[in-house]
Structure 1
């Protein structure tokens, strides 16, 4: 671990203040040997002060998650493994210890982070191939791989990962939509250019840098018009609080493509849940107020985003509120398709009108 770390929490994405090994070695060792994630870089390396940056961009993952994903990966003697997202080098070091350094290649996009990881690994007497490059492309020079593991989240499975994995091989990666929610996908590579498998557990990883999305500003939707602009007003009995959980976000994201949300909070515990289409053509608001059983809704644009959201939630209820592990994913060069229980039971998608 580097001298400067920002400890996280076991269940969530919040970071705590800086812990500097030179200033407080006891606190540093306590954080490093705790079952928590540790942020090691902010803002792609452009953050230099002691406070929190805008966006965490590199970390050492929570140990429990690291070993859970390695259990999903299920490596065996002689396996060749490609890792995407080297970070500090710890996960690559574990794989190298298990399989031998010659069987492990790891790719890190940030050249400074890759350099630091290579030094860490050499210091531990390990020498996997550390590549500074675009992880989406894999590394054809070491293909084919028995296992591929990503320690950054994705919304699209790069075709190169499937192409560079042997038939019957395994890809383990955190996957989630642009709406929210995320889970670990364990995909088995078939011989026909597809990979398919169930999700195993909830996760919350930093996004692969090339798959990050930019959120349009609020003004792009209201376009200078006074509230409620051209929105159509209605009410709902579905509380916005009922759809805010990580699993609920995951389910809604599967159903409602090209959408994201944000919450505008007020002093009395009330808030407005805004849902936006990524093309800036549609938006919806739902007002949560404590002790109410009916909530005001406004929708604008060709998509009725609140109606889509509510339909997704009601579908999930009708299926018995399945957890992450009942969902699965099938990916190929044309994209990824989510399903419930079986690839023959695809999750319905509410397309724009």
Structure 2
């Protein structure tokens, strides 16, 4: 292939990607971002080894050198891809994502939400491949972009990719939840890893009237975006929106397992029955999942699809992140007899789920866009529905 043919192929791939992004957004991509896509090829920021979903809930390795067609197709697909597994360690037979290139549509959705203007200075938390930093540098100038990455190896790769593409933002290796005070205050803070709470440092380093955009996570579900406006004095307020599921910030991770960390032989749970469909409540519908995550606060779930218990086809586990309360809901697999519930600890977690389910219906089955969050100077996170004065009670905070 000649250089001219290669360039034509690259341009055609970029145009196809822009059409796919516009379809997801529901409107054409803004001219400044079209120019960024055309000027900054995504493939320049991808490593030779990437991990692609295998259709069975796992990942398979794709090597640019041995499978160039598949690699190139992934490079210009409107989809995310994993660029590092297991924090860079040998994954063995259990690869799990630890760094990725986000789907282009969510990248440009977030860039739109940030509402960048000429001369704005931006702090990005989670450099990843460096591609979003490149887009922002193209739009604002490298001198107005600071990006922080926690992983040293990922930092080096991103810095090199940015330089080869002709961009030189400040690339910092460090804990992004602490921000980067040396260049503060910022007009915009863009977080590209999910947070379970908004660090005070990010609010303090944002100008009054500035905005913080972050993917959201709670132990129940990772889903949604939060756009906050900083009003000064450590106070910020804003609303959620749907879309996005990002990797959790490394210093906010939890590593809990039911039998290792929660359930003990000496625990004596209380038994009851429920007609509520546990598998539907715990599995179906992003709107319900987001609501339960807000209401329950610190409760996570896990499925046991082969519990090895007579008469039980599937078991739903619930537990608090401090491992002091848990519940198990058993499904026999057929028949009209409902579900058997076992609950242990100070909190009755299935009762809380049932109460949250009833509340969600009573409120008109809200999704993320009806919820908001106020962060106060003392670090309190107060959720609300529709209006800031309509506070939502969080079960984990009730005494």
Same fold flag (TM > 0.5)? yes
1:304 aligns to what?
348
1:36 aligns to what?
79
Which runs of 5 or more residues in structure 2 are unaligned? Answer: 1-45
The TM-score normalised by the length of structure 2 is: 0.82
Give the one of 83, 100, 105 matched to 1:59: 100
Give the one of 114, 118, 121 matched to 1:77: 118
1:340 aligns to what?
385
Contact 1:89 1:121 in 2 (8 A): yes
CA distance, structure 1, for counterparts of residue 355 and residue 80 of structure 2: 35
CA distance, structure 2, for counterparts of residue 335 and residue 177 of structure 1: 16
Query: Structure 2 vs 1, CA of residues 48 and 320 (structure 1 numbering), >3 Å: closer, same or farther?
Result: closer
TM-superposed CA distance for 1:269, in Å, is: 10
CA distance, structure 2, for counterparts of residue 100 and residue 269 of structure 1: 60
1:319 aligns to what?
363
Q: Secondary structure at the match of 1:18?
A: strand
TM-superposed CA distance for 1:197, in Å, is: 0.8
Q: Secondary structure at the match of 2:77?
A: coil
TM-superposed CA distance for 1:76, in Å, is: 0.6
Contact 1:8 1:37 in 2 (8 A): no
Greater shift after overlay, 334-343 or 66-75? 334-343
| Structure with greater proportional helix content | 2
TM-superposed CA distance for 1:339, in Å, is: 1.2
TM-superposed CA distance for 1:273, in Å, is: 0.7
Q: In angstroms, what is the RMSD of aligned CA positions?
A: 2.1
TM-superposed CA distance for 1:48, in Å, is: 6.2
Q: What is the aligned length?
A: 346
Give the one of 347, 350, 353 matched to 2:395: 350
The question of 1:276 aligning with 2:314 is answered no
Contact 1:251 1:316 in 2 (8 A): yes
TM-superposed CA distance for 1:281, in Å, is: 2.2
CA distance, structure 2, for counterparts of residue 13 and residue 209 of structure 1: 25
CA distance, structure 2, for counterparts of residue 191 and residue 287 of structure 1: 49
2:6 aligns to what?
none
Query: Structure 2 vs 1, CA of residues 230 and 90 (structure 1 numbering), >3 Å: closer, same or farther?
Result: same
Contact 1:202 1:324 in 2 (8 A): no
Question: Computing the radius of gyration over CA atoms, which structure comes out larger, 1 or 2?
Answer: 2
CA distance, structure 2, for counterparts of residue 216 and residue 280 of structure 1: 10
Which runs of 5 or more residues in structure 1 are unaligned? Answer: none
The TM-score normalised by the length of structure 1 is: 0.92
2:63 aligns to what?
20
Query: Structure 2 vs 1, CA of residues 220 and 116 (structure 1 numbering), >3 Å: closer, same or farther?
Result: closer
